[in-house]
Structure 1
């Protein structure tokens, strides 16, 4: 794995709406982000959504947001995925991708 091009590191917050809790979406999101070299976190919210933060190569983050917007884990019924606080980074703030409680 080479050094990522720092011009292409992005950060964003996301929230996934629909029937998304209790279907392994937080675990699958963590596993996919870890594999893609994305750092940050994900958790279930009290509102029944899944929220989190992603930081990593723009191309990989875009793929994960596309997956969270349309597909998700088996059994999920995703209404939409909102993205907020999008920005560019020179370095990652997190060491890995974690599930928070």
Structure 2
């Protein structure tokens, strides 16, 4: 995520899905969404992606990238 200049977090759910939040420059966020939709992590199976609650922010609200448990 850092190579794209993004901040945020991800979490695996008990339902076998992944939730998260990403923040950063719009072009890099777009690239990350494409990667999540078409590639994903090596052990993932992508059936669909849903992106919600999208909004513009004036400055980052999260710094760094983490995995939540």
Shared fold, TM over 0.5: yes
The size of the alignment, in residue pairs, is 69
Equivalences for residues 62-101 of structure 1 within 5 A: 62-101=30-69
Q: Name stretches of at least 5 consecutive residues in structure 1 with no aligned partner.
A: 1-32
Q: More helix by proportion, 1 or 2?
A: 1
Equivalences for residues 1-101 of structure 1 within 5 A: 33-101=1-69
Q: Name stretches of at least 5 consecutive residues in structure 2 with no aligned partner.
A: none
Q: More strand by proportion, 1 or 2?
A: 1
TM-score, structure 2 normalization: 0.91
- Following superposition, the deviation at residue 71 of structure 1 comes to 1.1
Q: After TM superposition, what 4+ stretches of structure 1 lie above 3 angstroms from structure 2? A: none
Deviates more, 1:70-79 or 1:36-45: 70-79
Higher Rg of the two aligned structures: 1
Deviates more, 1:80-89 or 1:70-79: 70-79
- Residues 49 and 86 of structure 1: CA distance in aligned 2, closer, same or farther (over 3 Å): same
